[in-house]
Amino acid sequence: MSESNTPKSVSVLFVCLGNICRSTMAEGVFQSLTRPDGKPPHPLVATIDSCGTGAYHVGDGPDSRTMSTLSKNGITTYRHAARKFAPSSDFKTFDYILAMDDDNLDDLLRLRQREVKKLGGEDGVGQVMLFGEFGGSKRGGPGEEVQDPYYGGKEGFTAAFEQSVRFSKAFLEKLEQGELS
């Protein structure tokens, strides 16, 4: 493949409300798939991060149940400190901004509209999508939501992990097939 035909690597941001459960789960899973221990990183993925639309847990590590679920599934090197979504920088830094649910998707789309208006166009502004568009079951909205497991038990974290694996693999497949622009 000539250099001009080589797809450029992309940056991916996972977003939920507080950045300690769902988005960190998704980030940890996606990192494990694209940066496996002892192997070279995936050539199509440059940057991976997560954040929240709210500032409830800024500076905190992921929920202990998130970390326990990741560890139980062989993901033991993940580290993160919660942060709040920063429209002026995150829309420029990330090519794909993946929301965990409809409420966060709506918030991000509204923020994106403001950023596009401020910049005078779409150029250089990351795409906002529902993470569950990739490999999720279709419903009234664009795809499957990752339900917030914060107030529940470990089964909610297991479900979020399983969705993160399924959606991450489907997103990566679309990226590899050149179906994302």
Hey, which residues are catalytic here? 16, 22, 148
HEC assignment per residue over the chain = CCHHHCCCCEEEEEEECCCCCHHHHHHHHHHHHHCCCCCCCCCCEEEEEEEECCCCCCCCCCCHHHHHHHHHCCCCCCCCCCCECCHHHHHHHCCEEEECCHHHHHHHHHHHHHHHHHHCCCCCCCEEEEHHHCCCCCCCCCCCCCCCCCCCCHHHHHHHHHHHHHHHHHHHHHHHCCCCC
